[in-house]
A and B are shown apart, each in its own frame.
Chain A
């Protein structure tokens, strides 16, 4: 059960857009449209931001969007704000044996 690959860090200035990638395999990211993204502030539980690749839960800003191509999913944050500074984890369904797998996490810094 290998973790999904994410960049360790991504940064941007307020108002800019950033994109975080999440690379897996055909057994997880590429095999299902079941990628989700979680935001985690320090000492807090993760919060669901995107599910099923590109859907937003109620209450999540439309500045957050998701997409997928092949074995790589992406999270884009547009109009970057100071409150977006956090760790972001992707996750994917990985089949009836493994169930779920997380990415290694990406630290987003707002400059």
Chain B
């Protein structure tokens, strides 16, 4: 059974960088699929952030691209997200997920709430 688990600070100060890691179990990241981040502001809908393939292919949400870094660590079977210069608008539940090459997500992490506040 594939499982994804997000980890990282639940509180980030404005203008700082949000950093999250997703640990994957039950499947090797190197075996295929994309690995992505999706967020959901409180009471709002889902928004793609970025997705990465172990080969290096990356998709970004154009509206976030300038602030996003996504990376994969195959040795630890995990992938990470960094979002710089955060504001209150970046407050959201952040999900890691496993999309295929056609953006179909079959596995999601449980989500982690990140609040941007001083």
Contacts and interface: CB of A to CB of B under 8 A. Distances in A.
Interface in B70-113: 95, 99, 102-106, 108-111
Nearest to A45: B108
A103 B45 contact: yes
Interface residues of B, number: 21
Contacts of B95: 45-46
A86 B91 CA distance: 22
Interface residues on chain A, size class? 20 to 34
Contacts of A99: 48, 51, 59, 99, 103
A92 B46 CA distance: 13
Given A1-B61, A1-B63, A100 B48 contact: yes
Contacts of B106: 48, 57
B62 interface: yes
A91 B48 CA distance: 10
A34 B51 CA distance: 17
B16 interface: no
A51 interface: yes
A105 interface: yes
Nearest to A48: B106
A109 to B, nearest CB: 16
Interface of B: 38, 45-48, 51, 59, 61-63, 95, 99, 102-106, 108-111
Q: Which 3 A-B pairs have the closest CB atoms?
A: A100-B103, A99-B59, A45-B108
18 contacts: A1-B62, A1-B63, A34-B103, A36-B104, A45-B108, A46-B46, A47-B108, A48-B105, A52-B104, A57-B106, A89-B45, A93-B102, A93-B103, A94-B103, A98-B62, A99-B59, A102-B45, A102-B48
